[in-house]
Amino acid sequence: MAMSQASRKRPAAKATFKLLAPSAFGFSEIGQTIASTPDHLKGRTVWTSLYSLTNDPAQQHIKLLFQVVKVEGDTAYTVFKAHDLARDYLRSLVRRGSSKVDGIFDVYTKDGCKLRVMVLATTLKRAQTSQERALRKVMGQVVRDKAQQLDFDGFVQEMVLSKIASDIFNAAKKVYPLRKVEVRKSKVLELAPHVVSKL
């Protein structure tokens, strides 16, 4: 028996929601997205570039991942989840006759958020294994010290805006001559409840 037009289930009407970056990025508008209900929007993630938030072309290579955690009316609020640097940019940092030193560090911020922070340093000339170890030790010390001093928002700001990379460079260049230091990637492993509740 054919189903009548009236009895067919109609698709839910979809609404447009405005996406806002977290407080660390001044609640700047990321863009808009469509969802049938606010609940369908919660948990959704979106990648954007730092350039789209700051209009600074020098920051086009910095990619940010945000996740929707709260919806009020037609506005969706997000939290920072991760960041990454463009592959082309990272490749441009490595030169022949130099060394690439990677470090991966899990740290807790002052207010109890856990992040995995991945640091890249390139040297002016090829480094020995012992020198690479010494550089990695300095990287870890600076990242851990910063995490202990700063809350989640402050740490994310300094990490994404290259302040932590600059501090690592200034400390590590005393160990071995460096060309560049970047926090190439990060990921939030545990988010303290207050980060969401204060939105």
Total domain count for the chain? 2
Residue 2 has pLDDT above 70, yes or no: no
How does pLDDT run across 83-95, given as a tens digit for each residue? 999 999 999 998 8
* Dihedral angle of Cα 197, 114, 141, 48, to the nearest 10 degrees: -80
Residues 100 and 161 in one domain: yes
Residue 79 falls inside a structural domain: yes
Residues 174 and 190 in one domain: yes
Residues 186 and 124 in one domain: yes
Domain-ending residue, one of 85, 107, 136? 85
Determine contact, residues 138/172, Cβ cutoff 8 Å: yes
Q: Provide the phi-psi class of 95: left if phi over 0, else alpha when psi is between -120 and 50, else beta.
A: beta
Q: Span 144-155, mean pLDDT?
A: 97
Q: Span 159-168, mean pLDDT?
A: 97
- Please give the residue range of the domain that contains residue 178: 87-195
* Per-residue confidence (pLDDT) for residue 32, from 0 to 100: 93
Residues 73 and 155 in one domain: no
Residues 104 and 127 in one domain: yes
Domain-ending residue, one of 41, 56, 85? 85
Residues 66 and 137 in one domain: no
For residues 132 and 101, give the distance between their C-alpha atoms in angstroms, rounded to a whole number: 6
Residue 49 has pLDDT above 90, yes or no: yes
Domain holding 125: CATH number?
Answer: 3.30.479.30
Which has the minimum average pLDDT: 35-39, 123-127, 151-155?
35-39
Residue 1 falls inside a structural domain: no
Q: What is the mean pLDDT of the chain?
A: 92
Domain-ending residue, one of 68, 85, 102? 85
Residue 66 has pLDDT above 90, yes or no: yes
Residues 67 and 106 in one domain: no
For residues 169 and 101, give the distance between their C-alpha atoms in angstroms, rounded to a whole number: 12
Residues 107 and 185 in one domain: yes
Predicted model pTM: 0.89
Confidence of residue 11 (pLDDT cuts 50, 70, 90): low
